[in-house]
Amino acid sequence: MVDKTQILGQPLPPAGFLVERRSGRREKIHNLGHVTKIGRDPRGDIILDHESVSGQHAVVKFENGRFFLYDLASTNRTLLNNKAIQKQMLMDGDTIQVGVIMLVFKETRS
């Protein structure tokens, strides 16, 4: 039997996800990759089907060990902790508003 290769002493990269909160619905969890597209477009990674959300509204990118949120010139802007942003580093617990939909950023680090 062959043992699996293990890298010793290397921390795992952080894992990030968004918790979607809409009134009258159960919370939905969206895992984040290196590039996660958010919008109404069905070809995106996180599809938010609401008229207040642009087709390509925002993107979350994993860069230099951190997650960053970018607004993609959306019609109704992207808010981070109630402030309009173009690019901003995310911190655990940050609240993101895409149109009328609220998302909470969560991050785990090893």
Q: How far is 63 from 16, CA to CA, in rounded Å?
A: 12
Residue 1 has pLDDT above 60, yes or no: no
The half-sphere exposure of 58 on its side-chain side, counting CA atoms within 13 A, is: 28
pLDDT band, very low/low/confident/very high, at 12 (cuts 50, 70, 90): low
Looking up tokens 């939905």, which residue turns up?
Answer: 28
Please name the amino acid found at residue 55.
G
pLDDT band, very low/low/confident/very high, at 3 (cuts 50, 70, 90): low
83 DSSP assignment: E
Segment 80-104 mean pLDDT: 97
Tens digits of residue pLDDT in 33-53? 999 999 999 999 999 999 999
Q: How far is 30 from 36, CA to CA, in rounded Å?
A: 10
